[in-house]
Amino acid sequence: MSDELSTLFKALGHPIRRQILDILKQSAKTTGELIEYFPEVTRFAIMKHLSILEEGNLVIVRREGKYRRNFLNAVPLQEVHNRWVGKYMQTTATSLLNLRTVVETNKIEGESAMEITNQEQSKAFRIEQEVLINAPREQVFKALTENAGDWWEFRIAPKGVPSHFTFDPVPGGQFIERWREKEGAVWGNVYYVNAPEEIRLHGHLGMQGAVNSSYTYRLLEKERATLLQLSHTASGVIRDSWEQDHTEGWKYLLGTLLKKYCEQS
């Protein structure tokens, strides 16, 4: 852990690297697009900065044809927050998309169709995150699927109504939250499984309306640990806040809740 933190702090130690993270927080960029932000810095220097950020796991690189697209990975920052800052702050419940708030907001009487139209537009987003978990891959895969209800904190059930989760990690299986006798919500439909390496699902994850959303977990063995890679894409009628809400929600879910659950099991 100390070596990981040293690498992380090194990555944060240069103002250009911090500026790159600020740029990527807005949206993913190709290496060429990032270079354009720094006309007085050489291409080689920017690529060196990106390499250091990648070593610190703050940037995830995905190849798209001949391009390298760079994504912000804020999970390591969440771990730093948990270790130091979080100890001195009152714990507050974050959520994947602040689900209940979104649902209740949509139900507010008097919200006009014009207001909804202004909030929503056809667009797309893509989230890439990674978290290193000090646990065997099989254990992490089981936690993500069969044991998801043990650590998945967020609920769609009405406030005060207990609910429980089931997750069948087979093609055609579902990740479902159920409450009362015949009520519930589907968080994901499984359409691909290669256990314990990968599982892919379709799921709105709290988004409503004409949205196509899917998310993938990939698990890579790293000595005695597991590198969990998340990829979440969504397109359709998407509100402006949803990408940031999901980015923060996934960071908390995987970087805090899942990691703690696996490493303390």
Domain segments of the chain as ranges: 2-72, 105-264
| pTM of the predicted protein model | 0.73
- pLDDT mean for each 10 residues of the chain (265 residues): 72 91 90 92 92 90 87 81 55 48 47 47 88 96 96 90 95 96 94 97 89 96 93 92 90 93 92
Q: Which CATH class for the 2-72 domain?
A: mainly alpha
**pLDDT score of 111:** 45
10 Å Cβ neighbour count for 61?
15
**pLDDT score of 85:** 53
**pLDDT score of 88:** 47
Q: Which DSSP symbol is given to 87?
A: G
DSSP letters spanning 196-216: TTEEEEE--TT--SSEEEEEE
CA proximity to 205, closest of 241, 242, 178, 236? 242
Distances (CA, A) of 100 to 31, 222, 248, 259: 38, 37, 16, 24
Strands, E, within the chain: which ranges?
A: 29-30, 59-64, 67-72, 120-133, 163-167, 174-179, 183-194, 198-202, 211-222, 225-239
**pLDDT score of 89:** 45
**Phi, psi at 29, each rounded to 5°:** -135, 150
Which option is the CATH number for 105-264: 3.30.530.20, 3.40.47.10, 3.20.20.60, 3.40.50.720? 3.30.530.20
**pLDDT score of 27:** 86
**CA torsion sign, 181 to 182 to 184 to 186?**
positive
**pLDDT score of 144:** 97
**pLDDT score of 84:** 62
**pLDDT score of 17:** 92
**Phi, psi at 13, each rounded to 5°:** -80, -5
